[in-house]
């Protein structure tokens, strides 16, 4: 499935997203970088789950995962997705959708090196989205991984890496009384130009 990549986010839109993330972090909300990621599998089945935003620039939003997980398989089959941030206490929401691209080995390695050692071990232990006969196997596998990599750096597994969602549309939602919410939408036209408009709530 070939998906053309949209142009970079406009500078003012990018700064608004960054400002909202900063506001959410300063508010003391738990997991302010959490976003709901929605994908579609090869068979057309939708799936959603929560992931953490790990990088944001004009090209898009980055997150990391086991590439053999359900989301990894979905994105390999259909490299397009949407994400939604919802900060309930702030009455703010950001939604964006567009094509998804794999991050480079260099980008993956740089983030991997910054991860806590326990999370690096966890990536080796978890066969994400696959069946497990007994959850206690996780503790056994963790102990085995700790022994395997004792006193040496933990390499990044080939099946672990990141994705960048390249927004083709982005919407700012601001909650108001009587459900007269504000919905400000940005969307890329067929000519590759970002268009801004408003939607009824």
Cα 163 to Cα 159: distance, rounded to the nearest angstrom: 13
β partners of residue 56: 61
Cα 181 to Cα 5: distance, rounded to the nearest angstrom: 30
Share of the chain above pLDDT 70, in %: 99
pLDDT at residue 1 tops 80:
no
Tokens standing for residue 51: 């992931």
- pLDDT on residue 2: 66
- For the chain, give the mean pLDDT: 95
pLDDT tens, position by position, 121-131: 999 998 888 88
What is the rounded average pLDDT of the residues 194-200? 98
What is the fold of 11-115+158-199?
A: Pnp Oxidase; Chain A (2.30.110)
Q: What is the CA radius of gyration of the chain?
A: 19
pLDDT tens, position by position, 76-117: 999 999 999 999 999 999 999 999 999 999 999 999 999 999
Tell me if 170 sits within 8 A of 83, measured CB to CB.
no
Tokens standing for residue 148: 């395997």
For residue 106, how many other CB atoms are within 10 A of its CB? 8
Cα 25 to Cα 33: distance, rounded to the nearest angstrom: 8
- pLDDT on residue 3: 73
What is the rounded average pLDDT of the residues 31-55? 97
- pLDDT on residue 129: 82
What is the rounded average pLDDT of the residues 151-174? 97
Cα–Cα separations (whole angstroms), residue 82 to 21, 46, 88, 159, 177: 17, 11, 19, 22, 27
Q: How confident is the model at residue 5 (pLDDT cuts 50, 70, 90)?
A: very high
pLDDT at residue 4 tops 90:
no
Q: Where are the domains of the chain?
A: 11-115+158-199
DSSP at 33: T
pLDDT at residue 63 tops 80:
yes
Tell me if 111 sits within 8 A of 163, measured CB to CB.
no
- pLDDT on residue 127: 86
Cα–Cα separations (whole angstroms), residue 1 to 10, 76, 78, 94, 188: 27, 9, 6, 27, 20
Our CA angle for 125, 147, 70, nearest 5°, is: 5
């Amino acid at each position: 499935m070939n998906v053309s990549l949209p142009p970079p986010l406009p500078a003012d839109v990018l700064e608004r997203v960054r400002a909202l993330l900063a506001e959410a972090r300063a508010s003391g909300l738990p997991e302010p970088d959490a976003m709901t990621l929605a994908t579609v599998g090869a068979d057309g089945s939708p799936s959603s789950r929560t992931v953490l935003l790990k990088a944001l620039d004009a090209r898009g939003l980055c997150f990391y995962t086991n590439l053999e997980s359900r989301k990894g398989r979905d994105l390999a089959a259909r490299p397009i997705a949407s994400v939604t941030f919802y900060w309930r206490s702030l009455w703010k929401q950001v939604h964006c959708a567009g094509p998804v691209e794999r991050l480079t080995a260099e980008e993956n390695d740089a983030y991997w090196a910054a991860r806590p050692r326990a999370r690096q071990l966890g990536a080796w232990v978890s066969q994400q989205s696959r069946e497990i006969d007994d959850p206690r196997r996780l503790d056994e596998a963790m102990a085995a991984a700790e022994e395997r990599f004792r006193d040496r750096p933990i390499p990044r597994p080939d099946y672990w890496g990141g994705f960048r969602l390249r927004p083709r549309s982005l919407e700012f939602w601001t909650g108001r009384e009587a459900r007269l919410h504000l919905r400000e939408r940005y969307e890329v036209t067929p000519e590759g130009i970002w268009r801004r408009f408003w939607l009824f709530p």
